[in-house]
Structure 1
Amino acid sequence: MQSRKNLLTTLRSEPKGVMARCFDLKCKWRIHAFLMQHGIIFEVKKLVDTHSCTRSNKAAATMATQGWVASVIIDKLKSDGDLAGFLDGCRPYISLDACHLKGRFNGVLVGATGVDGNNSIFPMAYGVLESENKKSWIWFLELLKKTIGTPNGLVISSDMQKDLDIAITQVYPTVEHKECVRHLYSNFKRHFRGEFFTRNLWHAARTYRLTEFERLLNEIGEVNNDALTYLNENHNRIWSRGKFGTTSKCDYITNNISEAFNYWIGEVRV
């Protein structure tokens, strides 16, 4: 199969992979992309993204773009790349986060990441928004909910960005909403510093016993009642293991799996 400008040709195309090169046999441009083991995501194994042929260099406007790469595999993604893997093989746990696109394309890339039975990250869905605002987050979450519904015991973890928090409450009002303790602590220490506050806060987050959680917070209140008031008023989502539900079988207190996903796609964001 050749592109309409006869600059690209497909060497191999099948449900589990695609290989393409420049139509000029001497040109080094090529791409190899294959379906990963879980059958959801295509991974680009090899990409030489600079044409060495004279003809291609003169026709820069027709060189391969992100849109072309997507068009090559879009039909396969439609048939194979759905969210069934999350419903069939993952825990009912979703981590939400966003990162800015840094290259020629502006916007914010948002992602929903799950955890499979082997405690590995499971990228579920992503979208590109004009900015992190309530309307955009609601749009993304409504599409996600339309696809996966509300699995029993569903947990959503986030950094409690204001508009995201509102969107989750509107679209998923009954789910367990966890707040990333790392982000909580980052905000908390701007107002209340010291080894005592740091130790008690993190111990309160890590404990599985509700009585221990309450004891540690009471100690914070005895030393500085303003600190306890701050936590109750500004961080009233679930952030301690002592308050986690048991259905998801996931005791993460941070949003690190989303951070791992953002790092993983770092090169394509530039």
Structure 2
Amino acid sequence: MNEIHGTDKGCYDILRWYCRAVKETNPLSVAEFGFVTGCRPLIFLDETHIKNKFKGCILLAVSKDANDDLFTIAYSVVDAENDINWEWFCYHLRSVLLSCQSIPFNEYTFFSDRHPGIIKVVNLLFTGNHHAYCLRHLVDNFVKVVLQSYPKHNKKYWSSVFKKAAYAPSLQEHEQHIKNILESMPLARDFIVNSEPQSWANALFLGNRWGVINNNIAECWNNWVKAARYLPIVGMVDHIRVQIKNMMHQ
């Protein structure tokens, strides 16, 4: 393994060389090329943990192409998922998106699991864009934060009511489902208000998310690079690069 991919520690010493080599051998390669010609302006932000000796994580931005398949826009290896690293990653992502002349910048809709670092950086760097929250993560939090105070309640049933509130096409229908929840669980009020319903409820969301309501495509990417996450850093980055290249040529 070490002879093929190098050691965990040693690979950090040649990472700068690897980055220069990629630029020198692929001087005209730009990640946005396939993105602007075939994808909807819907960008999923997420992270996945690295499994090698030095840990860390990968920050990623992905989208869906015209066939509803996974398309990688950008990814970065960082030491941890925090505000500083998300700001650094999204600063460079913003520069790439601004260079895409065929898509107006304010038409991009961002999608996330509501990590505080992502919320902060979207508000900072993408102020004119819409930010949608993943319903699956929100329902999980609803169960953990609210339903634990009501142990006798049917978690499956009330989770379905919460989902109905999210999918409701009209404001009246949305408010009725929320009313049903609050009548049975008054403690849910703070959770619902703080969750910013305008970022997850269909009846309140002002942007366009093309029927997408979960962050599943980002989870697919995490699973797609599962094997690479165990490799030393250079082998990991190159493994992902080759996977992306092969996918784009299929």
Instruction: Give the alignment's TM-score, normalised by structure 2.
Output: 0.74
The structure where strand makes up a greater share of residues is 1
Q: 2:183 aligns with which of 222, 225, 234?
A: 222
Residues of 1 paired with 2:2 and 2:182: CA distance? Answer: 61
Identity percentage of aligned residues: 26
User: 2:96 maps to which residue?
Assistant: 147
The CA distance in 2 between the partners of 1:136 and 1:237, in whole Å, is: 26
Q: How many residues align?
A: 212
Deviations 1:83-123 (A, max 9, x none): 12222221110000001111134321010001111111110
Q: Which ranges of 4 or more aligned residues in structure 1 deviate by more than 4 Å?
A: 49-52, 65-74, 245-248
1:108 is matched with: 57
More helix by share: 2
Q: Distance in 1 between matches of 2:18 and 2:139?
A: 41
Matched, 1:168 2:128: no
| 2:191 partner amino acid | Y
> Aligned in 2, Cα 1:187/1:199: closer, same or farther, shift over 3 Å?
same
Compute the displacement of 1:138 (Å).
Answer: 0.7
1:260 aligns to 2:220 (yes or no) = yes
> Residue 72 of structure 1: CA displacement?
5.9
Query: Would you say 1:122 and 2:71 are equivalent positions?
Result: yes
> Which residue type is aligned with residue 130 of structure 1?
D
Assess, with a 3 A threshold, how the Cα gap between structure 1 residues 104 and 78 changes in structure 2: closer, same or farther.
farther
Deviation at residue 237 of structure 1 after TM alignment:
5.0
Gap change, CA 1:158 and 1:78, over 3 Å in 2: farther
The answer to whether the 8 Å contact 2:44/2:215 transfers is: yes
Give 3-state SS (helix, strand or coil) of 1:229's partner. Answer: helix
The separation in 2 between residues aligned to 1:237 and 1:131, in whole angstroms, is 29
Shift of 1:141: 0.5
| Distance in 2 of aligned mates of 1:225 and 1:78 | 59
Give the whole-Å Cα distance in 1 for the aligned partners of 2:115 and 2:207.
25
Give the number of the structure whose alpha-carbon radius of gyration is greater.
1
- Corresponding residue SS for 1:79: coil
Whole-angstrom distance in 2 between the partners of 1:221 and 1:66? 53
Structure 1: gaps (5+ residues): 1-48, 53-60
After superposition, what is the alpha-carbon deviation per residue over 1:225-260, rounded to whole angstroms, capped at 9, x for unaligned? 221331112444511233344645x21111110000
Instruction: After TM superposition, list the pairs within 5 Å mapping 1:17-166 onto structure 2.
Output: 73-149=22-98, 151-166=105-120
Shift of 1:129: 1.5
- The equivalent of 2:211 in structure 1 is 251
| Alignment RMSD | 2.7
Per the normalisation by structure 1, the TM-score is: 0.69
Q: Which amino acid aligns with 1:144?
A: L
